[in-house]
Chain A
Amino acid sequence: MSISLPPATENNSNSLQPTGWLRFISFSLDHKVIGLQYLVCGFIFYLIGGVLAGAIRIELLSPISDFLARDVYNQVLTLHGTIMIFLWIVPVVNGAFGNYLIPFYVGARDMAFPRLNAVAFWMIPPAGLMLITSYFINGAAQSGWTAYPPLSITTPAAGQIVWIVSVLLLGGSSIFGGINFIATILKLRRPGLKLMQLPMYCWAMLGTSILVVLSTPVLAGTLILLSFDIVAHTGFFNPALGGNVIVYQHLFWFYSHPAVYIMVLPAFGLVSEILPVHCRKPLFGYITMVYSIMAIVVLGLVVWAHHMFTSGTPPWMRLFFTIATSFIAVPTGIKFFNWVATLWGGRITLNSAILFSCGFIVNFVLGGITGVALAQVPFDIHVHDTYFVVAHFHYIVYGGSVFVIFSSIYHWYPKFTGKMLDEKLGIIHFVLTFIGFNLCFAPQHWLGLNGMPRRVAEYDPQFTLINQISSVGALLMAISTLPFLWNILYSFIKGEKAGNNPWQALTPEWLTTSPPPVENWSGEAPLVTKPYGYGEKNSDEGSSPITQA
């Protein structure tokens, strides 16, 4: 069972740590500091990735290649994808919120391996800087974030090698984090806290970490082989030397499809924390939610080849992966119905956190529907590698994960800082983001169906108008970050004081001061057996969901 908690005074290492703002640029071992380091670092990379997206949308304003040089355009799209996945969404939905929240949720004073945790974070800034500076030195990688050989072998080697080393570092960081989360959730629970009493985000992180630990090493191995092909001229994936390019795709997608779940499962967990608080209702269907997460984890490992329906895959493989992929819709559907049931009959405060969470539900449902369509081989064969796919996965990772990140920031900012965010600015941010996002990506479904492939700088002039509409949407998305940034900075200095628990939430991170002390709780950790014990019958004092041990 779980090991007993060390007394707070034993955290000697923490007393040697710098205090004040210096903590945030130091090798801090405090899970809360590391969580915020992940969040701020990720957000900076999000802004950089966003600038690159802007460059792509400017290039696509006209059907000819005129804004960026052709090879630069390919570098920009490669960097945009790599940064947004490996430096923004994965580190933030896992590293930032995972590190901040999981020790609270299991009733621990820190993660299981605090030093490993700090190492995992500090691998990210150098990896990110390396990736970005490669552009200014010899040119960045230009074979897309998928780095399919033989293109990745024949494009300039320097940029590709930097890309590989950078992704290896980020993958290593992710594995360290995954091991840490599994150990913390399974072994660091406070005595008396059962697995089925954990907040849903713990289950999401447990599932995600299993995926990280099982699949990321495969990507690492694949990229190491690819680097051998590039620098040592081996022939693993080089057909000229007897290699096989399809093997790379299988190995790559064995990680990179689960990577989608590594980006969305934690987001599912975060939404499950946010909705009950602002709806004042228990999370609907806790047990089915847990089983759905685990079903997604298992199925998520056996669907990778749906990215390869046009790669010359044999018919039996096409059919197997169609069926496996389609069935992921069932556990995912259960989660969405359960969230709607959580809204149903609630007493919902319409604030920025709930709006972004509901925006996530709407966007992700659309992304899920196009996902089931794409899983069907005959459907996919027409739209594979087109803007239809671009639209689909942005609905999943932006409309899904990024909306949840924003929702989570609105929800937990008072916990992080002790200050409230401005609601008016928050709602402006939501409206601009939601309209901008849908204006940018919804028309891209049509582009793909009608003949615009992805990753092109020039296209058929008949698509000009729709591309311009899409770029206007992107501009709105860019503008939407301004009220958000202003809100974050202004509220930090002049925001209304939040108090310890402004939402009257029941999950354990709120049962301490905001921001929390280094030891998380001044006394012993509370035993929260009903983290979603909202609802009328709990208003009588007899049945408090929190039992102080």
Chain B
Amino acid sequence: MGGIWALDNLNLLPVVASSNAPIYDELFNVLFVIGIILFVGMTGLVIYSLIRFRKKPGQVGDGIALEDNLPLEIFWTAVPAIVVLFVGLYSYDIYERMGGMQSLSTNSHDHQSMNSEGRVWGGIGLTSQDDIEKNSLPMINVDVTALQFAFLFNYPEGEIVSGELHVPRGQPVSLTMESKDVIHAFWVPEFRLKQDVIPGQPTVINFTPTKTGKYPIICAELCGPYHGGMRSTVVVEEPEEYQAWFKQNSKQKEMEL
């Protein structure tokens, strides 16, 4: 009961701002309820036993000589096994819905050519293939370079290099990331997604933003003295605003044309 109250009334998670986030929150809620039941149950048993079976004044002698009980032990082997199996299958389903099982070649499209020499790992966050087809909007590809202590976002189509990530609401985005120096990590809590940015090996992360606003991009891997300050912003805009930003910043290229 307390757990369900907590889920409803405490802000346990940040704002939902990507198509990935509600799926994550669904998993979180299930794990949270199971966890609360187990924790309260075990704690209750311990406290109850300590009170009920405490040695009262004047009592002498031992407790009952109970050494084992096979049915009971089978029961509490089977119950956790079933719970764990359920959690595992359920989280596999969630993982698949988050796009974790999709082969990366479809994810990174023409980006593959850029990284032809190496394998590309990562790639969660595209949600399901259905979403993309329903959407039928083209994927926005952005190359991310991480370095001590900043993220740089390069839009190959507009030849834009930006310190902020601008993305339109509702359109899938694919980031191909590589680090210039040490390992960093790209994390947007509101998207519920994180991917390490590794030197010498590109990694991919995808997301479809669903809510306009400015969200922090946080480096989550210790990367040096200014690790705590290595932050940027992802600006999720309405498509028109995004187009305006894109045009304004890629103007130079248009003039050349």
Residues of A at the B interface (CB closer than 8 Å) are 65, 70-71, 73-74, 142-144, 148, 150-151, 154-155, 239-240, 243-246, 279-288, 310-315, 318-319, 322-323, 326-327, 329-330, 333-334, 336-338, 340-341, 343-350, 354, 358, 361-362, 365-366, 369-370, 372-373, 376-379, 381-382, 384-386, 446, 449-451, 453-460, 532, 534-539
Contact = CB atoms under 8 A, between A and B. Distances in A.
B210 to A, nearest CB: 16
A532 B92 CA distance: 43
Contact of A538 (B49, B62, B73): B62
Given A286-B68, A334-B73, A319 B92 contact: yes
A385 B220 contact: yes
B62 A312 contact: no
Contacts of A280: 55, 61-63
A458 B225 CA distance: 11
Contacts of B182: 148, 150-151, 154
B46 A361 contact: yes
B158 to A, nearest CB: 27
Given A150-B199, A378-B98, A535-B65, A455 B54 contact: no
Contacts of B80: 329-330, 333-334
A314 B121 contact: yes
Contacts of B11: 450
- Interface SS majority for chain B: mixed
A282 B67 contact: yes
Nearest to B26: A378
A350 B55 CA distance: 8
B100 interface: yes
A326 B88 contact: yes
B227 interface: yes
Interface in B4-48: 11-14, 23-24, 27-28, 31, 34-35, 38-39, 42-43, 45-46
Interface stretch (B134-142, B162-170, B183-191, B247-255): B183-191
B226 interface: yes
B222 A281 contact: no
A315 B100 contact: yes
Given A346-B63, A370-B35, A382-B189, A70 B194 contact: no
A378 B187 contact: no
Contacts of A65: 228-229
Nearest to A278: B55
Contact of B76 (A318, A337, A348): A337
Contacts of B229: 65, 458
A313 B121 contact: yes
10 contacts: A150-B199, A245-B183, A245-B200, A310-B196, A314-B121, A362-B46, A365-B42, A376-B27, A385-B221, A446-B12
Interface string B93-110: 011001011000000000
B73 A536 contact: no
Contacts of B101: 315
A452 to B, nearest CB: 9
B224 A151 contact: yes
Contacts of A539: 61-62
Nearest to A362: B43
A312 B198 CA distance: 8
B257 interface: no
B199 to A, nearest CB: 4
Interface of B: 11-14, 23-24, 27-28, 31, 34-35, 38-39, 42-43, 45-46, 49-50, 53-55, 59, 61-69, 72-73, 76-77, 80-81, 84, 87-88, 91-92, 94-95, 98, 100-101, 121-122, 124, 181-183, 185, 187, 189, 192-196, 198-201, 203, 216, 218-229
A357 to B, nearest CB: 10
A460 B216 CA distance: 10
A78 to B, nearest CB: 9
Contacts of A338: 73
Contacts of B194: 310, 381-382, 384-385
B228 to A, nearest CB: 3
Contact of A330 (B42, B77, B226): B77
From A155, A330, A345, residue with most partner B Cβ within 10 Å: A330
Contacts of B65: 281-282, 534-538
A281 B55 CA distance: 12
B88 A322 contact: yes
A324 B56 CA distance: 45
A341 B72 contact: yes
B28 to A, nearest CB: 7
A281 B183 contact: no
B62 A281 contact: yes
A385 B122 CA distance: 16
A150 B179 CA distance: 11
Contacts of B226: 70
A326 B89 CA distance: 11
Given A330-B77, A377-B95, 12 more contacts: A245-B198, A246-B201, A285-B68, A311-B196, A314-B121, A319-B92, A329-B84, A361-B42, A372-B87, A449-B12, A453-B218, A460-B216
